[in-house]
Structure 1
Amino acid sequence: MDNLVEIIVLLGGTAVIVGIAERVRLPYPVLMLIAAAGVSLIPSVPSLVIPPELILPLFLPPLLFATAMRTSWSVFRVRWRSLVLLAFALVVVTAAVAAGISLAMTQTITVAGAVALGAIVAPPDPVAVESVSSKVGMPRRLTTVLQTEGLFNDAVAIVIFQAAVSAVVAGQSVGWLIVPQFLGGAALAAGLGFAMAWLVGWLTALLPNLVARSSITVVAPFAVYLIADELHASGVVAVVVTALELGRRSRPQDYAERLARQAFWGIVELLVTGLAFGLMGMELELILTDDRIDIVPMLPAVVAVCTAVVVVRLLWMLGIQLMGGTENRTPVPGSFKETLVLSWCGMRGLATMALALSLPVDVSAGTPFPGRAFIIVTALGVLISTLVVPGLTLPLLMRLLQLPRDPHAGRRRDRALAKRAQEASLKALEEAPEWDDLPDEARKSLRRRILGLERMLSRDAERDPQAQAHIQEQLAAVQRIQRRALNAGREEILRARREPGVDPMVADRVLHRLDLRTVMLDR
């Protein structure tokens, strides 16, 4: 019961912290972490304990699914170099450097344990990065690179971590078999993601109830993650592929489901993120107050690993800049300022915490996991140094750097896509079978303002009851044409969303407005 009360308090506290964060212009996850750590230091407040094996399945699927739904396959086709250089290579290099430093500076850890530590501290968290970067006016081109990096680096880190922990338990060394293990697991997970997206599409086509259709997308990320985990595949890859494929399969007529899904996942993402960072704050308190853990002798190695994590990312980003950036058309990073921002946004989050907490206490009966306390303390140190410090200072850094931004770029992209939707809608209007039967005035009004015509016809029907039947026929024809036109506009935007070079977030904004106009017709 205590745990349930604490979860409810954390969820309610998230809403309060979000309001405070908006006023003080700071990222709410960072404030949530600090607030939870401070409150948990009060002696009468019990600590919330969630079984380690439940943390990844509970938190990763919804947060990754919500993030991946805002991107598209076309982004990955354009930004494949970001995936290779950041999500894969940088994670491996960071893990190797952290493992080497740990082995050199502490005697309580084995090689496999050091590799596990490296995997824990290596992957930046896409949820943490997005929640912080979205509040500071970061250029969209930088945010997109961070999102692309964050969606798959957890998969690489988790495979390395699981192989290292298995080696510790079995008393073996970490071998090169980890590479085919990752590739095979990723391939199987991708297949599961495609299959789950197909199953969700098939079920939603059968179900007439909107709530039932929307609920399937709630179950899907958890189900595919657990299935992948049971088959020793990558649950992270399975969830991301499911979300991307569902976005690709979205149809123009799914407007009500899209609106319901956007509203639901927006709430879920906010609350789950707040709960996750609240748990991090409580875990920090547990570490600080645990008499069995002597932190002072660990501090030099912990500081060295925290410093290495930041320095490796900075040097890697500098190398990418010298190589010409991650993209061909618009190099990112294209300047030292952008390199500094992308380096500062290497924030660790939920994956780091969850992997650290999922370390087994004992290798076997009576044999403790070697170096477990050091690994957990180091993971918390990396969380603080890469999340709290950058999260609190990123707004100041953005103001000092004054990155060149085009304040009208977003509006221009919106207008360009809106124009495409308008042209498709007008074409559908003129091709409608009822078009020629409408009066000239009605056709002109439809081109000018579709919803305005409906109000005009309704007023005419009230003034002339004898013409009401004829007016109602024209009104029904107008509504059919409006639906056909809006459907054509949505179809054009969905097609544009799948094109390389089109920002999915901009397409989603335009699509959202078209969906809302269609819902208004149904009332």
Structure 2
Amino acid sequence: MFHDFPFYLGLIVIILLLIMVANKAKIAYPVLLVLGGLGISFIPGIPALHIDSELIFLIFLPPLLYEASWAISWKELWKWRRIITSFAFLVVFFTAISVAFVANYFIPGFSLALGFLLGGIVSPPDAVSAGAILKFVKVPKRFSSILEGESLLNDASSLIIFRFAMIAVATGQFVWHEAALSFVWMVIGGVAIGVAVGYIIMKLHRLLPTDANADIVLDVITPYAIYIAAEEVHSSGVLAVVSGGLLLSTHRLGYLSSSSRLRGINVWESLSFVLNGLVFMFIGLDLPEITAGLEDQGLWTATGYGLLVTLVLIVARFISAYMAVVVTLIMRNFITVADARHPGYKVPMLLGWAGMRGVVSLAAALSIPVQLDDGTQFPERNLILYITFIVILTTLLLQGLTLPLMIQKIKIPDPDFIMPEEELYNKIRRKLNYYALEQMRADYSKEMDEHPVLYQMACKWEDTGQLGDTTAIMADEAKEVYRDILERQRKWLTTKNREQNIDEEIVRKHLLYLDIEEEKLNLL
């Protein structure tokens, strides 16, 4: 391993360069990373890469899921909960069933159990790829919220299918009532453990005399602690991490200081950047190991099977996207839905095409054991690995490269559009500053007379609606007054966010600005 250390350092440099090229060309960087890894794998003398699935599940998956759960809006997740859970569970199950029957019919030696196993592996779309694409194109907020919410939950449902299919392949039987009970425990137990461990972590942050560095270290440990705790009791570690992450994200203002929040953002962005880069590069680098085991099937035949499964995935997702519209139009007569209007054909088309596969599928395929418990070879393991690779590569290249063009061509109307984002941001800023001015005059009029800097800040809020200049030297008493005003502004923002239909991204930008203001106070 130490002998290959320079190679891995060079790999990180290559990842950085490829991501720079992808950003410059406005291409989703997972596409270039997979192709880059694929190209490097053919260079003579390159160290053979063996990816341990446990490495991906334990080292990579928890922090990536945790970071994604912090980035998503709980308000948007709850608003679109029906369509998100439908895509994350029902669509994943429908996709797995479709793959199972097609594989059983067209691929020699594939039983239904093996088909379900393959379906569970390739059914979840990848969150990182979709997110990387949406950076370069303008889409309605609801579209990105649905994709982000789906990607948080679909990994859990696919891995549940994968576990049950593994049992069926290994034992040759499938007991439905036991599987149903196990499924309920994996879902409910995963959510409960995630919330419980998240609550304990939140209490530790509050009770321990931590500083920003200690808070960040504890925060990095958190997703691993949640994942391991859930997996130890055989519940869903993925759902546990997502649930714990959503809990902690929602209450971040209550247990983390402004310094911890500001520094934590930088740490998590850098960490997820490196982890995402490595896992997509690993997909391309692992090709020699995957193709080495294809002795029984020819390479072209196996590639054909992979393309067939890819076609099934695309068709199944399109059917699911349009069926979701039909169900919504029917159910709006009986229940209150998030939006009862007909979405037309454009949104389901783009949702159907946004089905790139990624690292979770590869990790699941690699976790298939070489041998069964009785010592016999696991049936069709090498073919499943290769089909998974073809699915990932094809969806990344085909859908990943064409989705931005489709979005630009189709031009989805945004039914939630109120005013331009910058105008909305400035409107909230003015209201926020007027609220601060009222609070300052009501509760700190004496301090305004005693500390000119507070009076100057109030005058600026009143005259221009801009934040006051806090770079001047302030007495400790004036700092405490301003800290209290900042905290009241945070509470005002969070209250408005709950009560009104405000874009949470804009609210978070204001909260970030308030954290920066408080951090500036600490440096004065």
Would the TM-score normalized by the shorter structure come out above 0.5? yes
Summarize the alignment of residues 302-317 of structure 1 with structure 2, pairs less than 5 Å apart. 302-317=306-321
Q: Does 1:118 align with 2:119?
A: yes
Q: Does 1:18 align with 2:19?
A: yes
**Alpha-carbon displacement from aligned partner over 1:279-323 (angstroms, at most 9, x marks no partner):** 111123433455635323334433221101001111111222334
Mapped to 2, the partners of 1:29 and 1:248 lie a distance apart of: 29
Gaps of 5+ in 2: 462-466
More displaced, 213-222 or 242-251? 242-251
Distance 1:86 1:41, change over 3 A: same
**Alpha-carbon displacement from aligned partner over 1:221-272 (angstroms, at most 9, x marks no partner):** 0111011111100001110111111012222662111111111110111111
2:425 is matched with which residue?
Answer: 414
Q: Does 1:352 align with 2:355?
A: no
CA deviation after TM superposition for structure 1 residue 275, in Å: 0.4
CA deviation after TM superposition for structure 1 residue 6, in Å: 4.0
CA contact (8 A) 1:295 1:377 kept: no
CA contact (8 A) 1:188 1:233 kept: yes
2:183 is matched with which residue?
Answer: 182
More displaced, 194-203 or 216-225? 194-203
CA contact (8 A) 1:168 1:363 kept: no
2:128 is matched with which residue?
Answer: 127
CA contact (8 A) 1:347 1:387 kept: yes
Q: Does 1:261 align with 2:264?
A: yes
Mapped to 1, the partners of 2:176 and 2:422 lie a distance apart of: 52
What one-letter code is carried by the residue in structure 1 that aligns with 2:271?
V
Mapped to 1, the partners of 2:444 and 2:86 lie a distance apart of: 53
What one-letter code is carried by the residue in structure 2 that aligns with 1:98?
V
Mapped to 2, the partners of 1:332 and 1:63 lie a distance apart of: 35
CA deviation after TM superposition for structure 1 residue 169, in Å: 1.9
Distance 1:207 1:402, change over 3 A: same
1:86 is matched with which residue?
Answer: 87
Distance 1:322 1:22, change over 3 A: same
CA contact (8 A) 1:251 1:491 kept: no
CA deviation after TM superposition for structure 1 residue 491, in Å: 2.2
Mapped to 1, the partners of 2:497 and 2:5 lie a distance apart of: 41
- What secondary structure, in the 3-state scheme, does the structure 1 residue paired with 2:372 have? strand
Mapped to 1, the partners of 2:500 and 2:319 lie a distance apart of: 29
CA contact (8 A) 1:434 1:481 kept: no
Q: Does 1:235 align with 2:244?
A: no
Gaps of 5+ in 1: 459-471
CA deviation after TM superposition for structure 1 residue 517, in Å: 1.2
CA deviation after TM superposition for structure 1 residue 115, in Å: 0.9
Q: Does 1:438 align with 2:453?
A: no
Q: Does 1:512 align with 2:523?
A: no
More displaced, 208-217 or 72-81? 72-81
CA contact (8 A) 2:346 2:412 kept: yes
Mapped to 1, the partners of 2:304 and 2:218 lie a distance apart of: 49
Mapped to 2, the partners of 1:361 and 1:500 lie a distance apart of: 55
Distance 1:222 1:208, change over 3 A: closer
2:407 pairs with 367, 392, 398, which one?
398
Q: Does 1:100 align with 2:109?
A: no
Distance 1:46 1:202, change over 3 A: same
Distance 1:26 1:482, change over 3 A: same
More displaced, 122-131 or 511-520? 122-131
CA contact (8 A) 2:120 2:159 kept: yes
Count of equivalent residues: 507
What one-letter code is carried by the residue in structure 2 that aligns with 1:411?
E
Distance 1:144 1:452, change over 3 A: closer
Mapped to 2, the partners of 1:117 and 1:6 lie a distance apart of: 33
What one-letter code is carried by the residue in structure 2 that aligns with 1:257?
S
**Alpha-carbon displacement from aligned partner over 1:464-519 (angstroms, at most 9, x marks no partner):** xxxxxxxx6xx444322221111111222334455574443332222111111111
Q: Does 1:377 align with 2:377?
A: no
**Alpha-carbon displacement from aligned partner over 1:351-372 (angstroms, at most 9, x marks no partner):** 1111011111111354111121
Mapped to 2, the partners of 1:148 and 1:342 lie a distance apart of: 13
Distance 1:295 1:437, change over 3 A: closer
2:282 is matched with which residue?
Answer: 279
- What secondary structure, in the 3-state scheme, does the structure 2 residue paired with 1:233 have? coil
Mapped to 1, the partners of 2:370 and 2:480 lie a distance apart of: 65
What one-letter code is carried by the residue in structure 2 that aligns with 1:295?
L
Mapped to 1, the partners of 2:291 and 2:418 lie a distance apart of: 45
Distance 1:190 1:500, change over 3 A: farther
- Root-mean-square deviation (CA, aligned residues, Å) is 2.6
1:153 is matched with which residue?
Answer: 154
More displaced, 152-161 or 379-388? 379-388
CA deviation after TM superposition for structure 1 residue 218, in Å: 0.1
Mapped to 1, the partners of 2:340 and 2:22 lie a distance apart of: 33
CA contact (8 A) 2:457 2:469 kept: yes
- What secondary structure, in the 3-state scheme, does the structure 2 residue paired with 1:280 have? helix
2:464 is matched with which residue?
Answer: none
Mapped to 2, the partners of 1:440 and 1:225 lie a distance apart of: 51
1:466 is matched with which residue?
Answer: none
1:485 is matched with which residue?
Answer: 485
2:460 is matched with which residue?
Answer: 449
Distance 1:6 1:423, change over 3 A: farther
Mapped to 1, the partners of 2:398 and 2:355 lie a distance apart of: 11
Summarize the alignment of residues 3-82 of structure 1 with structure 2, pairs less than 5 Å apart. 4-82=5-83
**TM-score, normalised by the number of residues in structure 2:** 0.89
Mapped to 2, the partners of 1:53 and 1:454 lie a distance apart of: 50
More displaced, 272-281 or 194-203? 194-203
1:301 pairs with 290, 299, 305, which one?
305
CA deviation after TM superposition for structure 1 residue 65, in Å: 0.6
More displaced, 309-318 or 179-188? 179-188
Mapped to 2, the partners of 1:408 and 1:284 lie a distance apart of: 48
CA deviation after TM superposition for structure 1 residue 171, in Å: 2.9
CA deviation after TM superposition for structure 1 residue 15, in Å: 1.6
CA deviation after TM superposition for structure 1 residue 174, in Å: 6.0
